[in-house]
Structure 1
Amino acid sequence: MNCVELIRLQAERVFGSKLKADHWLNQPKSAFGGISALQTAHNEAGYEVVKAELERISYGFSS
């Protein structure tokens, strides 16, 4: 599995639905420099940043 596929799966777990996850993944976010989570997650470093943000959200924190 590549980084983007892993992020999609994690987002679906965090948000509880594919639709909500897709919405979050495709919206520009200030946490990612104004680009989407999917654009950010295309390499290992970006994957780690998006993964950490999803973990914060799952614990009730968000930037």
Structure 2
Amino acid sequence: MNYVELIQRQAEQVFGNKDKADNWLTQPKTALGGSTPLELAHTETGYKLVKAELEKLSHGFAC
């Protein structure tokens, strides 16, 4: 499994469904320097950044 697939799965768990996860993954995020989570998830460093943002969301912190 690659980083993008891992992030997609984690996002689906955090948001509860694929549509909401896909929406979040494809929208630019200020916390990610204006990039979309999917853009960043192609590298290990980007994957870790996106994963951290999803973990914040899962604990109730807005991104």
Normalised by the length of structure 2, the TM-score is: 0.97
Between the aligned partners of 1:57 and 1:51, the Cα distance in structure 2 is: 10
Aligned sequence identity (%): 62
Between the aligned partners of 2:12 and 2:25, the Cα distance in structure 1 is: 10
Letter in 2 for 1:51: K
Q: How many residues align?
A: 63
Between the aligned partners of 1:3 and 1:61, the Cα distance in structure 2 is: 23
**Over aligned residues, Cα RMSD in angstroms?**
0.6
- Specify every segment of 5 or more residues in structure 1 that has no aligned partner in the other structure, as ranges: none
Deviations 1:4-52 (A, max 9, x none): 0000000000000000000000000001111100001110000000000
Runs of 4+ in 1 over 4 A off after TM superposition: none
| Pairing 1:1-63 to 2, within 5 Å after superposition | 1-63=1-63
- Specify every segment of 5 or more residues in structure 2 that has no aligned partner in the other structure, as ranges: none
CA displacement at 1:62 relative to structure 2? 2.1
